[in-house]
Chain A
Amino acid sequence: MRLRALGAGVAALLLLAGCTPTAPAEESPQALTSEQSERLAVTRFRNFDAGVRTVDAELPSASGDIRLEGFFDFATGVGYAAVTVDDVASGLVWWTHETIAIRSAAVEGLPLPLPEDGWESGALDPSSTTLANSVALIASLGSDRPENPQLLAQSDAAWLRSDTVGEVEVDVFAGPSADSVATASSDLSTRAVYWVDATGILVRFESPLTPPPAQLTVDFGTADAIELPTTVPGAP
């Protein structure tokens, strides 16, 4: 019976952030226009509305450059990707908001249905590993309703620059640093950054990870209608 939970607004854009500088020095952030705040407010909803999107994520780590190539279904909250480390096939990862399952045996491509054996699953703890942090961040980029554009406009979220990703023209935004009104001392280097097209579609996402200097970069794309399994073989 209760209304939409308060606090889900800007807080939802406050993605986990470390302390690593990421922003090029020449950027000159500007306060959001009302049009820009409305567009940024729908990016996570647009992912939910789209359902399945392709995911191509890079996350440098101490053990090598990790790459995830696969899908996330923002309607059902399930992701599935092939993992490579320094360009060597290293296995599969499947995850939800609560659970992560890893299959370490190298396979060709991204098999569907899922392989029947070899999965190790457990609760998804974003603070446990760079990989867990990254897949949790990807999962957090969907919401079944838009955020509050007025509140975003009053935050320190900022327009950074125009850009293109592939052939798509985008605006690049820094997300808000805190659930409060704008302050002059906001440090852009600790913020998540969103590449957003004219319709609010999130094309690229970048975020500092913990521990530094790891940084996640994800490219999202249009996916064919596929169905990702909502359970993983052998999981409790």
Chain B
Amino acid sequence: MRARGTIRGHVAIAVATVVIALTGCTPATAPSQTLVEVPADVPTISEAVELVAEGGLILVSPGDYKESVTIDKPGVTLRGTDRNAVVIDGEGLRANGVQVIADGVRVQNLTVRNHTFNGVLVTGLHDANGAQAHNLDGYEKLDPEEFPPLQRFEVASVTASNNGLYGIYAFNSQHGVIRDNYTSGSADSGFYVGQCAQCDILVEGNIAENNAIGYENANASDSVVIVGNRFTDNRVGLTLLSWYQEAYLPQKAATVVGNLIADNNSDASPAQANGAFGIGVGLSGANANELARNFIGGNLSTGVQITNTEDLESVGNRLVDNLFDDNGVDLADLSAARAASEDTCLEGDVSSVLPKGFAATCPAPTAGGVDASALPALVVPPGVSFLKVVAGLDQPQLEGDLDAVPEALPAAVTMPSLDSFAVPDRTLFAEWVTAQ
């Protein structure tokens, strides 16, 4: 197992905390402090954002920070000195913990909890009213000309607990890394990557438990790589879907390899909005995705569900050498006849499929799915208030020299070799989760 929590690309030189006096060329008001420490230099993180120079580091010491932080300055790194003791707490009142609306920002090694919407929101969609994403009733589909996607971000070794929508949420953003994070108690999903084409986003080494959904991927396409994660004990483990409320339809070409997607039957989580329960993977209007060498087991309803999003069928998804183990049904096609799935390709063993004979050949011929009533009948447990979901365990710290100001994030993400991810078993990150 790969070590979790390493600062990527930091520079090895120590950074002087003294502000270098600049001469006439620079306006006197321009922030020039490359390292701002909270609370040593300023009492709040928001004040540190104002003070720090572009590309600088905000280093936060342990404490409860009852503020909503917006990072609107390019290249800034927000880093806690102790992942479990640096806490941005929304107290069940504030909407977002950290909102990133500038390019090249990192958020690392801290906890965000008790927000009514998101723990960390990275979004290229923002205006005078602040950061936005979807779920606004007045929301109109994104105009990419008006709101170009945010470029380059990293959210790493962040614990996002008990947030009312998403724990860690990247929307209308490209070239990002979501790594070694832990989410629990999200009323919608622990992780969400939404609305990007040619996303170039890596989702690696994360844990989601006791969320309504572990990881959700709506209209995020082409180069979303989801590897080596643990999505267990949610109500739904992982979804790849098309959604008409967002731009860039339909969803396509995500890569899902070497993940543990198991036991998504949590009765200690918030309810999923549509009552879904006991599902490992949901593909809805999803296209040309590759799911390989994942462990998909112990999901009481279904290991993998394929369905349509309104008139958008699921086409050309490949399921290759996944290990299905003790799901209610391993693979079920629930697509409506008007948008029947096409060209699903199944390689490797499954013990049960619906409808009978589905995906017996590769690619599978167009077929109508079964009705949901054909799935195992389950009693869906009532949802838990997201504020009352049990706290997770302390999580491992980001490794490396935490005082060092990192280099700028690269223009493109360095993706790992997929060959390095074998089928995991239930021990993957087992020491870091509460549900056993």
- Assess the A45–B137 pair: CB atoms within 8 A: no
- Assess the A145–B95 pair: CB atoms within 8 A: no
CA–CA, A41 to B116, complex, Å? 9
**Is A124 located at the chain interface by the 8 A CB criterion?**
no
- Assess the B270–A144 pair: CB atoms within 8 A: yes
- Assess the A10–B137 pair: CB atoms within 8 A: yes
**Is A132 located at the chain interface by the 8 A CB criterion?**
no
Known A4-B188, A4-B273, A144-B385; contact A150-B137, beta-carbon cutoff 8 A = no
Interface size class of B (residues with CB under 8 A): 35 or more
Q: In the complex, which residues 146-161 of chain A have their Cβ closer than 8 Å to any Cβ of chain B?
A: 146, 148-151, 153-154
CA–CA, A7 to B245, complex, Å? 12
Q: In the complex, which residues 184-199 of chain A have their Cβ closer than 8 Å to any Cβ of chain B?
A: 199
Q: In the complex, which residues 62-91 of chain B have their Cβ closer than 8 Å to any Cβ of chain A?
A: 91
**Is A39 located at the chain interface by the 8 A CB criterion?**
yes
Q: Which residues of B contact A39 (CB under 8 A)?
A: 93
Known A4-B188, A5-B273, A42-B93; contact A154-B116, beta-carbon cutoff 8 A = no
What sequence of 0s and 1s flags, for each residue 284-313 of chain B, a beta carbon within 8 Å of any chain A beta carbon?
A: 100000000000000000000101000000
- Assess the A151–B282 pair: CB atoms within 8 A: no
Shortest Cβ gap from A46 to chain B (Å): 8
- Assess the B165–A4 pair: CB atoms within 8 A: yes
**Is B383 located at the chain interface by the 8 A CB criterion?**
yes
- Assess the A150–B271 pair: CB atoms within 8 A: no
Q: Which residues of B contact A148 (CB under 8 A)?
A: 117, 135-137
Known A6-B245, A49-B387; contact A146-B116, beta-carbon cutoff 8 A = yes
Partner of A149, one of B91, B95, B216, B383: B95
- Assess the B274–A42 pair: CB atoms within 8 A: no
Shortest Cβ gap from A182 to chain B (Å): 12
**Is B33 located at the chain interface by the 8 A CB criterion?**
no
- Assess the B273–A2 pair: CB atoms within 8 A: yes
- Assess the A146–B274 pair: CB atoms within 8 A: no
Shortest Cβ gap from B44 to chain A (Å): 15
- With CB as the reference atom, state the residue of chain A lying closest to B334: A1
- Assess the B274–A199 pair: CB atoms within 8 A: no
- Assess the A145–B274 pair: CB atoms within 8 A: no
Q: Which residues of B contact A1 (CB under 8 A)?
A: 236, 239, 241, 274, 276, 282, 284, 305, 307
CA–CA, A115 to B306, complex, Å? 49
Partner of A48, one of B95, B137, B284, B385: B385
- Assess the B243–A45 pair: CB atoms within 8 A: no
- With CB as the reference atom, state the residue of chain B lying closest to A180: B138
- Assess the A181–B138 pair: CB atoms within 8 A: yes
CA–CA, A133 to B236, complex, Å? 37
**Is B132 located at the chain interface by the 8 A CB criterion?**
yes
Partner of B243, one of A2, A48, A180, A199: A2
What sequence of 0s and 1s flags, for each residue 389-420 of chain B, a beta carbon within 8 Å of any chain A beta carbon?
A: 00000000000000000000000000000000
- With CB as the reference atom, state the residue of chain A lying closest to B137: A9
**Is A76 located at the chain interface by the 8 A CB criterion?**
yes
Q: Which residues of B contact A5 (CB under 8 A)?
A: 273
**Is A11 located at the chain interface by the 8 A CB criterion?**
yes
| Chain A residues bordering chain B, tally (CB within 8 A) | 34
CA–CA, A10 to B95, complex, Å? 15
CA–CA, A46 to B388, complex, Å? 12
Q: Which residues of A contact B137 (CB under 8 A)?
A: 6-7, 9-11, 148, 151, 179
Known A1-B276, A150-B129; contact A145-B386, beta-carbon cutoff 8 A = yes
Partner of B138, one of A3, A38, A48, A151: A151
Q: Which residues of B contact A45 (CB under 8 A)?
A: 116, 164, 385
Q: Which residues of A contact B385 (CB under 8 A)?
A: 45, 48-49, 75, 144
Q: Which residues of B contact A153 (CB under 8 A)?
A: 129
- Assess the A38–B116 pair: CB atoms within 8 A: yes
Partner of A154, one of B94, B129, B273, B382: B129
- Assess the B95–A38 pair: CB atoms within 8 A: yes
CA–CA, A199 to B116, complex, Å? 13
- Assess the B95–A150 pair: CB atoms within 8 A: yes
**Is A175 located at the chain interface by the 8 A CB criterion?**
no
Known A6-B137, A7-B137, A145-B270; contact A200-B132, beta-carbon cutoff 8 A = no
CA–CA, A16 to B271, complex, Å? 27
What sequence of 0s and 1s flags, for each residue 151-175 of chain A, a beta carbon within 8 Å of any chain B beta carbon?
A: 1011000000000000000000000
Q: Which residues of A contact B276 (CB under 8 A)?
A: 1
Q: Which residues of B contact A41 (CB under 8 A)?
A: 95, 116
- With CB as the reference atom, state the residue of chain A lying closest to B94: A38
- Assess the A150–B273 pair: CB atoms within 8 A: no
**Is B134 located at the chain interface by the 8 A CB criterion?**
yes
- Assess the B273–A49 pair: CB atoms within 8 A: no
CA–CA, A125 to B413, complex, Å? 56
Partner of A199, one of B93, B136, B239, B245: B93
Q: Which residues of A contact B164 (CB under 8 A)?
A: 45, 145-146
Partner of B93, one of A10, A38, A76, A181: A38
CA–CA, A48 to B164, complex, Å? 13
Q: Which residues of B contact A9 (CB under 8 A)?
A: 135-137
- Assess the A3–B273 pair: CB atoms within 8 A: yes
Shortest Cβ gap from A155 to chain B (Å): 10
Chain A interface residues toward B at CB < 8 A: 1-7, 9-11, 38-39, 41-42, 45-46, 48-49, 75-76, 144-146, 148-151, 153-154, 179-181, 199-200
Sample 30 A-B pairs with CB under 8 A, ordered by A number. Answer: A1-B239, A1-B307, A2-B243, A2-B284, A3-B135, A3-B273, A4-B165, A4-B273, A9-B135, A11-B137, A39-B93, A41-B95, A41-B116, A42-B116, A45-B116, A45-B385, A49-B388, A75-B385, A144-B271, A144-B385, A145-B164, A146-B164, A148-B117, A149-B95, A149-B117, A150-B130, A150-B132, A151-B136, A153-B129, A154-B138
8 further A-B pairs in the complex, CB-CB below 8 A; given A2-B274, A42-B93, A200-B93: A1-B236, A1-B274, A3-B216, A38-B94, A49-B388, A75-B382, A149-B116, A154-B138
Q: Which 3 A-B pairs have the closest CB atoms?
A: A146-B116, A49-B385, A1-B282
